[in-house]
Amino acid sequence: MPGVKTPLTPLQYLTYAAIVSAWTSGNYLGNTFCSSFINQDPNRAADFSQLSAALYRQLAWDGLNTNISSYDAGMISAADRNGGNQAQIGVCKATPVCGVFLTYRNQYRKVHVNGKAAATSQLYGPGGGPATDVYLNTDPRVFGVLKESTIVHETLHSISGLYDAWPESEQISDDLNLENLMGLPVPGKQCQGIPCPCKKGTVCISVAIWNHFCSVN
C-alpha cells in the first residue's frame, strides 16, 4: 500500500509560515544568552549556524493525515539506513508518520500513542539532498499552540540527522543525539541514580531552546 503524504491546508501553511517568520525576525540567535549557549559546544554552534538556510528550504506537511511509513518519509538516520540496522529499519517500516501522533495498527499489533507530539522530522534526504520535510500534528488542540521552539527543534533534526535520543535498538550507542547536543542529561548515563527529567526527549529539547532564550516560546 503506497500511502499518502498530505500537504497543509493554506490556512495551516500560513500559521506555520507566520511562526517561522516571527522566529526569524526575532533574531534570537543574536542575543547574549542564546549565543553563549550555542557557542558552548562546537557541534551545537555548527548546527545552529545552519538554521536559517534549513528553514528556508523546509517543507511542512500534515503529519496527522500522512500514512507513508516513517522509513519512506526519511525518519531514520542515514547511519541506520545505510548501515543496514535491521531492527531500526523494521520499526520505521512498521510505523506510519501519523503513528507518531495517533494510536495505529500495523501488521503485528495495535500501538497506543498519546497524541501530544507536536511534530516530527525527516533525518536524511531520501533523494540524496538535505532533509527538508517536517510533519506537523494538525490536531487543532496541538497545532493551535505550535511553538517557535518546536520548529527550531525539528529543523535541528533535519540539519543534524540525529534522533532525539537513541532508539531502543541502540541504547549503547556512543553517537551524538539531539538531547546531548542540547546539553541535556542522558537517561541511563549522566542521570544514574537521579530521576532523569528528560525521558520524553521531544519536549525537553524544545524547552531547552526556549530556556536558553533561543525562541520566544
- Binding residues for Zn ion, rule: CB under 5 A, are 164, 202
Comparing CB distances to Zn ion, the nearer of 68 and 205 is 205
Q: Rounded to whole angstroms, how far apart are CA atoms 96 and 105?
A: 9
Q: What's the order of all strands across the beta sheet hosting 133-136?
A: 6-7, 59-62, 133-136, 119-121
Which residue's Cβ has the minimum distance to Zn ion? 164
Question: Least separation, in Å, of the C-beta of 206 and Zn ion?
Answer: 8
Q: In angstroms, give the least distance from the CB of 39 to Zn ion.
A: 22
Min CB(159)–Zn ion separation in Å:
12
Nearest to residue 60, comparing CAs of 102, 124, 119? Answer: 119
Cβ distance to Zn ion smaller for residue 70 or 202: 202
- Give me the sign of the Cα torsion angle 186, 203, 124, 4: positive
| Pick 31 or 176: Cβ nearer Zn ion | 176
Q: Which residues contact 133 (CB under 8 A, 6 or more apart)?
A: 58, 59, 60, 61, 73, 74, 121, 122, 158
Is-contact 66 101, C-beta < 8 A? no
**C-beta closer to Zn ion: residue 29 or 205:** 205
Question: Cβ 201 to Zn ion, closest distance in Å?
Answer: 6
CB of 205 to Zn ion, least distance (A): 6
Q: Which is nearer to Zn ion, 31 or 207 (CB)?
A: 207
CA proximity to 7, closest of 58, 54, 56, 59 = 59
